[in-house]
Amino acid sequence: MTPTFSWDDKIAILHLGDDENRFSPEFLDAINGQLDEIQQAGAQGLVTTGGGKFYTNGLDLDWLGAHADQTQAYVGRVQALLARVLTLPMPTAAAVTGHAFGAGAMLAMAHDVRVMRADRGFFCFPEVDIRIPFTDGMAALIQAKLTPRAAVASMTTGRRFGGQEAAEFGIVDATAAEADVTAAATDLLRPLGGKDAGTLGAIKKTMFREPARALTDV
């Protein structure tokens, strides 16, 4: 399923899909195209959400296995998306409706705030267990958003955090029932409508200059 978006007043709701929503090249093309449209329309907020069991499982490992010669370019594209969301000139919220693993969890991290389903689904950086070290950019992104305690607990262990535990560590900002995750994420952004995009974008680029640079300097 290709990512699609709809509107809740002036907040764009970007639906990543109903499957594992892995970052295939086609998915990356589609989501960047949707973000272009959302920005051009003057959205006053962005919520990303998923359907079914997954928010997103991140890297398309099957595609990577078949195109190993393109690994560097592919990771560069993924990191460019993370940097784009990190510095997007509007308030952003990830509605983590199901599993968020690896680069999918990093996409959630790139948003300003995160709301996670309370009863099911895991938030996990499995890199230590799948023997894929974090790139400088990925580590910088996560560490820009988490306390040292939460970064060590999530990055060095491969631990699977349920919603309540993720909230306790500050990995997510709130939890909600399954049917309410996207609405709760949207509600966090409603009071922020009307911020000047140029000013907000400049603030985010200053705040996150180092992780954005590390993500795009590949």
H or E element that contains 141: helix 136-145
Torsion of CA 67, 60, 156, 108, to 10 degrees: 140
Which superfamily, per CATH, for 4-217? 2-enoyl-CoA Hydratase; Chain A, domain 1 (3.90.226.10)
Locate the domains of the chain by residue range. 4-217
Name the β-bridge partners of 92: 46
Q: Name the one residue in this structure whose structure tokens are 């969890």.
A: 105
Query: pLDDT digit of tens for each residue in the chain (218 aa)?
Result: 789 999 999 999 999 999 999 999 999 999 999 999 999 999 999 999 999 899 999 999 999 999 999 999 999 999 999 999 999 999 999 999 999 999 999 999 999 999 999 999 999 999 999 999 999 999 999 999 999 999 999 999 999 999 999 999 999 999 999 999 999 999 999 999 999 999 999 999 999 999 999 999 97
Report the alpha-carbon distance of residue 81 to residue 172 in Å, rounded: 20
Report the alpha-carbon distance of residue 51 to residue 179 in Å, rounded: 11
Say what the pTM is.
Answer: 0.98
Q: Name the one residue in this structure whose structure tokens are 């996207």.
A: 182
